[in-house]
A and B are shown apart, each in its own frame.
Chain A
Amino acid sequence: DAKTTQPTSMDCAEGRAANLPCNHSTISGNEYVYWYRQIHSQGPQYIIHGLKNNETNEMASLIITEDRKSSTLILPHATLRDTAVYYCIVRALNSGGYQKVTFGTGTKLQVIP
């Protein structure tokens, strides 16, 4: 799997948009970008994933640059409950073989009242 680079920590004011960047300059053409988060003392939670088009769901939006070397997870209106460690992961979806999910150190997002 391609290596990802994320800032160690970020702050965001409650109610504002939280923009979490991720660099994945060595991503391959068949690798997707996944985002998970882990709220303190809970299991990781899947947020969103995408290949090259921007994606949006009820939790967040994912913006992937045209060259696919970086992406941004956007939480449009951050709440205190969004305080968590956010993990950006890239992995292929080969129908054969298994691509393990490798969690890095992630970005610790602190939402401030």
Chain B
Amino acid sequence: DTAVSQTPKYLVTQMGNDKSIKCEQNLGHDTMYWYKQDSKKFLKIMFSYNNKELIINETVPNRFSPKSPDKAHLNLHINSLELGDSAVYFCASSRDRNYEQYFGPGTRLTVT
């Protein structure tokens, strides 16, 4: 059973398009996260939700909008995609806000 799953695994799209990445966890965790890993492999937190409430919002363009319909899901919607948005996006979850995190397999986004 997959603990943290993301769809799609690969996403290729053109500049200016709007796309969404979905994340689901079946661990019963209260906290979920989105991370971005760029081409230099730096992994940076973007957002975190605890019990559907946004608790951290790093310096991320407002073209990125997370949505948490329930505790088990945290989706990432990106408007007006730019070349610099190309990266691997990881979803993660943890039992509560300061516990160890469990990551999904990642979504490789390529903007052309």
Contacts and interface: CB of A to CB of B under 8 A. Distances in A.
Partners in one complex: yes
A101 B97 CA distance: 10
Contacts of A38: 43
A94 B55 CA distance: 14
Contacts of B97: 98
A91 B98 contact: yes
B43 A44 contact: yes
Interface in A64-78: none
A98 B56 contact: yes
A102 B45 CA distance: 8
Contacts, number: 49
Given A85-B41, A98-B55, A43 B104 contact: yes
Interface residues of B, number: 23
A45 B100 CA distance: 10
A43 B4 contact: yes
Contacts of A103: 42-44
A100 interface: yes
Interface of B: 4, 41-45, 48, 50, 55-56, 58, 90, 92, 97-106
